[in-house]
Structure 1
Amino acid sequence: MRRLYILRWPATIALLAYVVLHNGIGDAWRLVERAGPLLLWLVPLHALPLLLDARAWHLLLARRIALCTLWWIAAVREAVSRLLPVLGIGGELVGIRLAGRYLRDTGYVSASVVVEVLVTIAVQYALAMLGLVLLFLDSANADVARAVGIALLLSLPLPVVLFALLRRGGIFQRLGRIAKRFVPRIDGRALDARIRALLGQPRLLAAAFAWQLAGYLLGSAEIYFALALLGHPAGIGASIAIEALTQAVRQAVFIAPAGIGVQEVTMVALAGAFGIDRDAALSLALVRRMRELAWGTIAIVLWQTVESLPTQKNVDERTATGRRTQQ
């Protein structure tokens, strides 16, 4: 596993280099330059789907943290997962840490994040199925749809097994020492119980699923408007399929740091399957990556700023220390 972790960087960089060299970046970059500053509107546009995603987490937390707070924490979670060289759970661990500043019940926060991740996986598979249907109906290349479908099918057992283990309970109790390394003051047995309690509320899970699904569907507007600004408009169905299947493939190949290369290859292949020429498809991949960098940089700066501020717990401890000193 360690060897795989080390090799993932050269592998992903080689994949990205192949995309650039095989497709050529000159013409693609000229399309981006022609679209100009209007592409900057894609950065604030991303805030809307993220708000819907945060609403799902808000429900799982029983509204115990303000939605606006969860909104910016969700932005940080996404930025850490997409930009920093961490494996899939890095953003979630940061999210638990930040939410813990506003709700001291770390176990409840952790349980909500675990269940939210399960809901996200379910949403991504549902969207992937929708994307495959749209790809088969509208695509000019059935081979791409077949390849993506096989990849998703092969990755399906992992979330199914994970859900079964969490539903049965006991997994965090057995992994208690490991969990405490990442999230202090966590009790594995209590965390298992809270996860089971959340998973035992189908109406709550359905509501969280609906909000996340709406967020992902709204996120496809970025593809729609980006292609329109690049001068190669695509239909709503094609935009949804490109967004859904790109997200699904990136999630399946989580070992790739920041999805480098994987995201670009997938977007170029999917856009090409819908009849979008290669230069426009590569331009779309470049625009998506630049938007992620812009949005993610803002979120990470915000995260570091917040981390530098004292928590209420630290303020209380300093006050208590001062009182003892005076006595």
Structure 2
Amino acid sequence: MKRLVVLGGMAGLLLLTALVLYEGWPAIVAAFRRAGWPLLWLVPFHVVPLLFDTQAWLVLLEPINRAGHASYGFLLWVASVREAVARLLPSVGIGGEVVGIRLVRLRLSDSTAIAATIIVEVMVTITVLYVFSGVGLLLIVHLASELGHVWLIAASLLLTLPLPLLAYWMLRRGSVFARLQDLAARLLGKRSQIALRLDAVGLDAQVAHLFDQPRRLLRALGWQFPGYLIGSFETWFALDLLGHPVDITAAVAIEALTQATRHAAFLVPAGLGVQEAAVVLFGYLAGVGGDVALSLALVKRMRETLFGVPALLSWQWVETRQLRARRAGN
């Protein structure tokens, strides 16, 4: 897996370099100069869609958080750390979830239930991404002059649709984690640390219990989806500042299909190169020039970095305090 991540990172870096060379660095710099410092407003604005994601997670956590020990503000901070880990670190798409479980345990004691909410939340996010991508696809059909690329994108979405459906069925009926525990016991011995620490049967039960609550799932989905729509403001606002204003339909189309591509390329660390290529492609289909589209992609990367690095630093600060407290207790 590590080799795949390294190869993915190298391929992404080469792709990004090729895009910059092809579009021309002077044109990109000129676009940034034209936009100026107002681009920095995108950093605090990112809190808005994150508020919706946090509320969706809070809905799933309600049964184990009735006393409110994991407050909304605390979960918002954890959500920002989860996103920063997923977007800025080579964590193969699951590092943010692992860190999320660890941090929420500071307020709630049931690790199995916490893990179940995050697993179900990931499935809700995948559902939202497919719906959002479908909306983006419908919008791009009305914007694109060349429909060949559009049908290719549509075919890709349809061909990958069985994968999340299979994942849902396995999580709902397949006792996935119990099977993983049995496999770990056979390969590493029944007394292995992995086999002992994994409450697989409980996790399967908790996940199934959440899937048996359709109203709760719909509430979580109902919070997440508008968060993704609001996130399209980043694309609209940045393109306006970069000198190529578009209407909201084009912004939603570019954002939706870029998000889908970014999540599909989870083996590439931070989506490096892949996200930039997606923005250029979907920007082109929406009538945005290549140099401006690549500038937009770099603006997104800038916002991710400026928003994510403080979140990562705050996480490390909390981990350091916890380590010192444990040492002092010993």
TM more than 0.5: yes
Among residues 295, 298, 304, which one is paired with 1:292 in the alignment? 304
Superposition map of 1:183-198 within 5 A: 185-198=197-210
2-side partners of 1:20 and 1:219: how far apart? 25
Q: 1:4 to 1:288 in 2, by over 3 A?
A: same
Aligned to 1:116: 121
CA contact (8 A) 1:93 1:182 kept: no
**Structure 2 residue corresponding to 1:283, chosen from 295, 320, 328:** 295
Partner of 2:149: 144
Matched, 1:307 2:312: no
Structure 1 gaps, min length 5: 322-327
The DSSP-based 3-state class of the residue aligned with 1:61 is helix
Deviation track 1:219-241 (CA, whole Å, cap 9, x = no partner) reads: 01111111111121111111111
Select 1:167's aligned residue among 151, 154, 172.
172
- Consecutive unaligned residues in structure 2, runs of 5 or more: 186-191
1:100–1:106 CA contact under 8 A, matched in 2: yes
Is the Cα contact below 8 Å between 2:5 and 2:268 reproduced in 1?
no
Change (3 A) 1:206 1:42: same
The match for 1:17 is 17
1:117 alignment partner AA: V
Q: Distance in 2 between matches of 1:294 and 1:5?
A: 24
- Tell me if the contact between 1:144 and 1:269 (Cα under 8 Å) persists in the aligned partners: no
Equivalences for residues 255-266 of structure 1 within 5 A:
255-266=267-278
Structure 1: distance between partners of 2:300 and 2:106? 32
Task: Report the CA distance between 1:203 and its aligned residue.
Answer: 0.4
SS in 2 for 1:308: helix
- Alignment-mate amino acid for residue 280 of structure 1: V
Q: Partners of 1:246 and 1:184 in 2: how far apart?
A: 41
Alpha-carbon contact 1:152-1:249 (below 8 Å) kept: no
Structure 1 counterpart of 2:108: 103
Q: Map Cα deviations across residues 149-183 of structure 1 (whole Å, 9 max, x no partner).
A: 22222322221111110010411112237699789
Residues 285 and 150 from structure 1, CA distance in 2 versus in 1: closer, same or farther, beyond 3 angstroms?
Answer: same
TM, length-normalised to structure 2: 0.91
In the TM superposition, residue 34 of structure 1 has moved relative to its aligned partner by: 1.8
Could you tell me which residue of structure 2 aligns to residue 205 of structure 1?
217
Between the aligned residues of both structures, percent identity stands at: 46
Q: Distance in 1 between matches of 2:130 and 2:28?
A: 31
Give distance in 1, aligned partners of 2:75 and 2:52.
Answer: 11
- Counterparts of 1:218-237 in structure 2 under 5 Å? 218-237=230-249
CA RMSD, Structure 1 to Structure 2 (Å):
2.3
Partner of 2:55: 55
Q: What is the DSSP-based 3-state SS (H/G/I as helix, E as strand, rest coil) of the residue aligned with 1:310?
A: helix
Aligned residue identity for 1:193: A
CA distance in 1, matches of 2:265, 2:162: 14
CA contact (8 A) 1:79 1:300 kept: yes
CA contact (8 A) 1:242 1:271 kept: yes
Question: 1:25 touches 1:282 (CA, 8 Å); kept in 2?
Answer: no
> Alpha carbons of 1:58 and 1:312: their partners in 2 closer, same or farther (altered >3 Å)?
farther
Cα pair distance change 1:91/1:182, threshold 3 Å = farther
- Seen in structure 2, the aligned counterparts of structure 1 residues 106 and 20 have a Cα distance that, compared at 3 Å, is same
Aligned to 2:259: 247
Out of 284, 290, 297, the residue aligned to residue 272 of structure 1 is 284
Is the 2:5–2:269 Cα contact (8 Å) retained in structure 1?
no
Which deviates the most, 59-68 or 103-112?
59-68
The amino acid of 2:280's aligned partner reads V
Q: How does 1:70-81 map to 2 (within 5 A)?
A: 70-81=75-86
* Alpha-carbon distance change, 183 to 93 in structure 1, aligned in 2, over 3 angstroms: farther
Change (3 A) 1:306 1:184: farther
The TM-score with structure 1 as length reference comes to 0.91
Q: Secondary structure of 1:175's match? A: helix
| Residue of structure 2 in register with 1:29 after alignment | 29
Structure 1 position 158 matched with structure 2 position 175: no
CA apart distance, 1:10: 2.0
Contact persistence 2:5–2:92 (CA under 8 A): no
Q: CA deviation at 1:256?
A: 1.1
Is the contact made by 2:83 and 2:96 (CA closer than 8 Å) also made in structure 1? yes
Residue 252 of structure 1 and its aligned partner are, at CA, apart by: 1.1
Shift of 1:143: 2.4
